[in-house]
Structure 1
Amino acid sequence: GTISVSARGMVRELVALNVTESKVDSVIHTVAGGIGVNVLDHIDTRSVRRVVSEAGIAAELQIVDELRPENSAGFTLSSDGTTIRHRTFESRHVTLLAPNYASKYGEPKREMTTRLLGITNAPNHTSETQLKGLQELTTGYYSTYNSSNLGKQTPVDLKSFAANILGLGSDHAEDQKKLARLLEDWKVTSAKFMEGKRVMESLRVQDLLPIINEIVAKKITQLGGMAVWDRLSKEEKERHNNDTINQVCTQFGENAWNGLSEDERARASMFIWAGCCMHKELNSVKGGVRGLMEFWKSVGEAPIKLMNRANAAAVDAGPGKAHDNALEVSEGGGVKLTSLAGAVFRHKDDKKGQQDTYRMFFENRVGYTIRFPDTSNTRFQSHCSAAAELIVNLPVYLEFLLFVRDKKQARNFNHMENNIFLGLKDIPTLTELCTLALYSEAVSKPYMRLVRRGGKDRVNALDLGPVHSKVKNHCRAIINNPDLILGAGDGDFTHGTLDHELWERPDVIYAVQRLSPSMPHLKGCISAFFSGALDTWERLTSEFREGGKIDVLNSPDRARIFINSTNDHNEGALGTTRLMLRKAPSLTTTTISSKAMYTRNSTEDFIQARLPRMDQWKFVMGEARKREAMRINRRQRELEIQHDEQEVNSKRQRALEQHEKEKAKQDEISAVTPELNLESLQKGVSSSGKKLTVTEIRLQLEWHRRIAPDVVLPKPLLSKSRREDLLRNLI
C-alpha cells in the first residue's frame, strides 16, 4: 500500500540513526511489538531506498530554497577531496545565514549555518574538474527546484548561485588556489549576467522586442534561413531562444557593469579565499621538522637511523653502493620514531601490533587506560601527541618493550620493536621528541583552542589575522629565548603558551625538565624547530597580509562573509563516506550523499516547515522514481571509465608518436656517412668539399655518440663553431 507521510518520516529518521535499509522493517516491528502495537504491513528494502532518495531530493530543494537571493545575501563555499578504493570522492559545503526551522514562534530565526552541498565522484581532482563538478551539481539542484511546487511559482535563476558566492575555504594546495581563481571568474561572469537580467526586466516590452528580434533574425540567418528554422524541433528552437535571452542579458550586463562605480563593482565581484587553520598547523610542524634536520647538519650530530630490515642488512654487509644508498634513504628522528611506535602500539590493522596488550599493561602500571595517538593513520597533531606520550611515560614504554620481548619464546625483539627501543635510548631522538611535545603545548593546542570553537562561538576565518600575528610573535619570542617554555613551571605558563592559559598536559613540561640535563642540544633544537615552523606560518598566512583582501574588508562586508576556520566539515564528510563504504561496500554515492545531507542539514525540520503535506510531497516521490529509472550511479561509473580510457589512449598515442619520432631520428642517423677527414673538418667542409650545415654537424655528432655511448654531449650546443670543435675532438 501507500506509505504515509508520517511513515516516510519515521523511515528517514531510522536511516539517519544508522539503521541499515534491510533492517528498517524489522526495527519498526520490534519497537511496535515492545509497546504493544500490532503493525500489519511491511516495508521492503527497495521502498526504504526510495525514501532515502526522497530525503536526498528534499535536501537539494532545501539548499536552493535557502540560497534564493531574497533569502540569502551571499554565501561561502568550502570543499575537499580524497581517494577511496581508487575512486575520487569530493565533498562540498556552503555557509550561509539559514533559517532555524525549530523556531516555534513567528518567522524562523536566521543563523550562520554550514550545509552539506553533496558528496560526489569525479574522474580526477584537477581544479577544472572540481569547477565543472560544482556547476553540474548546482545545475541539477536548480532544475529540480524549479520543477517542484516550491519553484514553479517563483523560479530561481541558476546564475544567481555563482553571482552570490562570496568566498572559498580550503586547504593550501595549489589546485585549491587555482579553483578559487576559477570560482571568482565564474562569479564575475554570473554577476554581470544577473545585472543584465535586472536591466532587461526593467525595460518595457516594446523597448525590448526590437533588440530580441534583431538577434533572433541574425541567428536564423546563421542557421541557414527561415526554412531551416521551421524544420527545427521544439526543443531545438527553445534552446536557441534561451541562447538569445542569455545573449541579450550578457550584452546588457556588460553595459550595466561598466556603468557601475568602482566601489559598486568591487562589492559585486567580492571574493575572499582563506586557508584551513588545521592545515596551517599541520604544515608548521612539517616546517619545524625541516628546521631540525638543518640544525643537526650544523652541529655534526644526528638522531640514530631507524632503518628497515633490508637497509639494515645492506649497511651490515659493509662498504659499497648498497651500503651508501641504505644510509642515504633511511630516516631517523622523532617523527620516524612516533610513526613506528604507532604501528606497534596502535596499528590501524587490529590484527597487527600490541593493541589491547599495550592498553592492559599501561592500565596495570599507571592506573588508567591509554590509547596511543593514531600515527598509524593520518591524524592532525598525532605525532606531537605521540611524542608527548612517549616522553611522559618513557620508563614505562621501555619496560613494556622488554615485557613484549621476554614474552616471546625466543625472547628477542622483532626489527621494528628493536628500532623503537633504540630510538627511546638515543639522546638526539629524545631531544626531538621533547621539542615536538613542547611545540604542541606552547603553540599547537592553544592555537586550536583559539580557532576551533563551535556553536555560537564558532570562529570566522576572516577574524583570525591578529591570532596568526600572535602565533608568529610567540614563535619569535621562543626562538630568542627557549627558557620561556623550558624554565616554565605550573605557575609560570603565561609566557609559555600562546593563549596564556594552563598547559594542556603539565606533566609534559615536567618530563622535559627532568630529561633536559642529559640533552645538550635541546635549546638549539627548540630554536631550530620554531624557526622552521615560523617560516611556514609566514608562508601559509599570506591571505592576512597588510593591504590584502581580508585586511581591507570593511565592517559590513566582514559581517556578511563567513568562512569556517577549518575544513573539518569536509574532512568529516569524507571520513564518514569511507566508514560507510567499509561497512557496506555496495553503497552508492547518491545514497551516501542523500543520507549525509539529510542528517547534517537538519532536512527533516525543512520538510516539516515547507513540505508537510502529501500533495506537496508527490513531486519528490515522482522525482525519486524518475532518478531510479535513470540509473545515475551506473552512468557516473561509465563516465569515469570513459575518462580513464581517453587518458590511457592519449598516453598511448603520445608514446607511439614519441617512438615514431625516435625511430625517424635513428633512421636519419643510420643514413649518415661519417666525416672522418680532419683536414676537411678544419676547413668546415665535408670530404666532398661541401660546406657543413649545423644540422649535418649535429647528425655527425649523434653518429659518433652511437658508437661511443659513454660520451656526454653538452646541451645546448649553442654555436656552430662549438659543434665543429667537438666533432674534431671525437674523431
Structure 2
Amino acid sequence: MTEASLQVQTTQNALTTTQHEMRHLQARNEVLTRHNCALAMRASQAPLQKAHAIDKALAHTAIQSKQRDTFSLKEKNVIMDEVRDMICELVAKHDVPVSSVQDIICTVASCLRKTVDGSISIRSIRHVVQEAEVAAEVQVVDEIMQVDGVTLSGDGMSHKNINYQSHHIMYTSRHGAGITCFAGIQHEVNHMSETQLQGWKDMIHKMCTVYNECMVGNVAEVADPRELVTKVKGMLTDHAEDQKKLVCLFREWKEACEREVWGEQALATLPPDDVVALLWQMTDGAIVAAGGIDITKTTRRVSKILFDFSLKHNLVTSHLGQIQATLATTEMACFSMWGQCISHPYFRAVRNFLENILDLGPLHEQLIAHIKKLIDNVELIFGTDATYETVAFDGQPFERPEAFYIIQCIAQNTTKYPHLRSLFVAFLEGALETLIHFCREFAANGVIVHTSPETRKLARMNTMNDTNEGALGTLRVSMRRAP
C-alpha cells in the first residue's frame, strides 16, 4: 500500500472518531438543554411553591395553636379517658357536686386561656362516677383474691339521726406494699353490733356480685364471699362494747364460712351416691328435730326454734354519761399535763410509725414504763427543774409549752392547790390501769407476741383509724354543703 493510501485511511479513521465524538456531544447537549429547561421551569414556579409552603406551615401552626388552646372533652362523641379520670377526681376526691363539674372545668380552662370543646351532661357525669365505682370494686376483689390475708377497719357516726358506717380493707400486696382500700359508707338503721355485721355482709356480697357480673367469662375465677371472709385476719376498731361484740360476731361468721367452704370441698371429693345418702340422712335428722312428719307439730316446732333464736339477739344500748359542764382548775391542770407529757408525744410516735399496728408492742411497753416512772416520782413533772427531755414520753418539746409552765406555777401554790400532785398521781394510776387493759393484746402472754412475723404481715393494719374518720368527716362536710 502506498503512502497516500495510508494517509487516506488514517484520515478516515480520524473522521469517524470525530463524528462519534460529535454525536456524543450533541446528545449531551440535548440532555443539558432539557435540564436547563426543567431548571428554568422550576425556577419560574419557585415563588408559587414558596408561597404554598408558607401557607401550609401557617395552617399547620394554626391547627397546633388551636389544639394547644382547646381542651376537648370528647373524641368522636365519646368522653376521653383522661376526662373520666378528672371527673372522678373532682367528684370523689375533691367533693365537687355533680352539677358543678362542667362549670369548674370551664372556669379552670378559662384561667389557663383554653377553650373547652364539647360538653358533658349531668347524667353522663353520674354514669362516669358509677362506672368508676364498679371498676374500683372489681379491682379490690381481684387484688384480694390474690393475697392470703386482709384486715378490716370501720367507724360510725350519726348525722341528723341517721347512722353512717365507713369501711376500709387493708392488705399487703405481692410486692410488700401496704394497701388501704376504701370500701364505701353505708346507711344503717342503728348502731347495734348485729347491724354493723350485716353491713359488712352486704358490702362483701355486693362487691363479689359486681366482680362476678363483670369478670366471669374473661378467664377469671368466681369470687365467693365466703372465701373472702376466710381471708380476714383482724379488725381495727375501738374498745367500745359494741365493737368487741362485733368482732365476736364476725369471728363466728368467719368460722361458719370456713366450715361451709371446707364442707363443700370435702363433698366435692365424695362419690355422688355417698353425697345423696348423706343428704337424706341430714334431711331425716332435720325432720326429727322439727317434731316429725306431722305438719302441725313441725310448724309449731319451727316457730319455737325461730322465736328462741330471735331472743338470743339481745339489744345493745350504750349509755353515755353526761360530761360535766365545768371542770375544776385542778382537774383541768391534770388533763392538760397528761396531754403535754403523754397524749401528744404518744400520738406523734404512733403517727410516725408507718408500719403495722401489730408491731407497736415495744412502744406500749415503753409508755407503760414511762407512766410508772412518773407515778413513782411526780416531782419530775412539778419540780422546778422539769424539762421536756425527761417528762415528755418521746423526749421532744411540748405541744403547748406555755400550758406546761403555767401548771408548774400553779403547782407551787400548795395552799390554794394542795391536791394537785396527789390527784395527778391518781389520774396516772387510773390511766395506767386502763392502758394495760387496752394493751392486753400486746402483753407478754398475749396473742400478738406469739404470732410469727409472716402472720402479722398478713394481718397488717394501720396504726390509726384516720381513713374511716376522714371519710366520715368528708361526708359530714359534704352533706352540710349540699344537703
Same fold at TM > 0.5: yes
Corresponding residue of 2:157: 82
Alignment pair present for 1:163 and 2:216: no
SS of residue paired to 2:422: helix
Counterpart amino acid of 2:125? V
Distance 2:165 2:323 in 1: 35
> Given the superposition, is the C-alpha separation of residues 486 and 57 from structure 1 closer, same or farther in structure 2, using an over 3 Å criterion?
same
> Given the superposition, is the C-alpha separation of residues 523 and 121 from structure 1 closer, same or farther in structure 2, using an over 3 Å criterion?
same
Q: Deviations over 1:366-424 (max 9, x none)?
A: xxxxxxxxxxxxxxxxxxxxxxxxxxxxxxxxxxxxxxxxxxxxxxxxxxxxxxxxxxx
Corresponding residue of 2:106: 29
Distance 1:466 1:574 in 2: 31
Corresponding residue of 1:125: 191
SS of residue paired to 2:151: strand
Distance 1:180 1:88 in 2: 19
CA contact (8 A) 2:384 2:408 kept: no
Q: What is the aligned counterpart of 1:10 among 86, 94, 97?
A: 86
Alignment pair present for 1:45 and 2:122: yes
CA contact (8 A) 2:364 2:439 kept: yes
Distance 1:142 1:151 in 2: 15
SS of residue paired to 2:395: coil
Corresponding residue of 2:245: 178
Alignment map for 1:304-703 (pairs within 5 Å):
336-337=326-327, 429-453=328-352, 457-487=353-383, 489=385, 492-518=387-413, 519-585=417-483
CA contact (8 A) 1:92 1:570 kept: yes
SS of residue paired to 2:389: coil
Distance 1:442 1:36 in 2: 54
> Given the superposition, is the C-alpha separation of residues 209 and 533 from structure 1 closer, same or farther in structure 2, using an over 3 Å criterion?
same
How much does 1:152 deviate? Answer: 4.5
CA contact (8 A) 2:356 2:461 kept: yes
| Structure 2 runs not aligned, ≥5 long | 1-76, 286-319
Distance 2:130 2:434 in 1: 45
Counterpart amino acid of 2:375? I
Alignment map for 1:133-212 (pairs within 5 Å):
133-149=199-215, 152-153=218-219, 154-199=221-266, 203=269, 208-212=271-275
Measured on the aligned residues, the alpha-carbon RMSD in Å equals: 3.1
| Structure 1 runs not aligned, ≥5 long | 100-108, 223-285, 291-328, 338-428, 586-731
Q: Percent identical across equivalent pairs?
A: 33
Distance 2:143 2:130 in 1: 20
Q: Deviations over 1:240-289 (max 9, x none)?
A: xxxxxxxxxxxxxxxxxxxxxxxxxxxxxxxxxxxxxxxxxxxxxx9xxx
How much does 1:75 deviate? Answer: 0.8
Distance 2:109 2:435 in 1: 58
Distance 2:450 2:404 in 1: 41
CA contact (8 A) 1:82 1:90 kept: yes
Say which structure, 1 or 2, has more relative contact order (CA 8 Å, 6+ apart).
1
Distance 2:271 2:212 in 1: 25
Q: Deviations over 1:579-622 (max 9, x none)?
A: 1111111xxxxxxxxxxxxxxxxxxxxxxxxxxxxxxxxxxxxx
How much does 1:55 deviate? Answer: 1.6
Q: Deviations over 1:33-75 (max 9, x none)?
A: 555554442211122122111221122112211110xx21101
> Given the superposition, is the C-alpha separation of residues 220 and 43 from structure 1 closer, same or farther in structure 2, using an over 3 Å criterion?
farther
SS of residue paired to 1:494: helix
> Given the superposition, is the C-alpha separation of residues 488 and 562 from structure 1 closer, same or farther in structure 2, using an over 3 Å criterion?
farther
SS of residue paired to 2:381: helix
How much does 1:212 deviate? Answer: 4.4
CA contact (8 A) 1:25 1:43 kept: yes
CA contact (8 A) 1:451 1:459 kept: no
Q: Deviations over 1:477-525 (max 9, x none)?
A: 22221111112647x4333122233333333333223332223332222
SS of residue paired to 2:191: coil
Alignment pair present for 1:73 and 2:148: yes
Distance 2:323 2:95 in 1: 45
Distance 1:220 1:152 in 2: 38
> Given the superposition, is the C-alpha separation of residues 554 and 520 from structure 1 closer, same or farther in structure 2, using an over 3 Å criterion?
same
How much does 1:134 deviate? Answer: 0.9
SS of residue paired to 1:96: strand
Q: Deviations over 1:187-210 (max 9, x none)?
A: 222223333444556x4xxx5433
Counterpart amino acid of 1:59? A
CA contact (8 A) 1:479 1:527 kept: yes
SS of residue paired to 1:500: coil
Corresponding residue of 2:291: none
Corresponding residue of 2:14: none
Q: What is the aligned counterpart of 1:58 among 135, 143, 149?
A: 135
> Given the superposition, is the C-alpha separation of residues 215 and 432 from structure 1 closer, same or farther in structure 2, using an over 3 Å criterion?
closer
SS of residue paired to 2:392: coil
SS of residue paired to 1:77: strand
How much does 1:470 deviate? Answer: 2.6
How much does 1:27 deviate? Answer: 2.6
> Given the superposition, is the C-alpha separation of residues 215 and 472 from structure 1 closer, same or farther in structure 2, using an over 3 Å criterion?
same
TM-score, length-normalised on structure 2?
Answer: 0.69
TM-score, length-normalised on structure 1?
Answer: 0.47
Distance 2:107 2:391 in 1: 57
How much does 1:572 deviate? Answer: 1.5
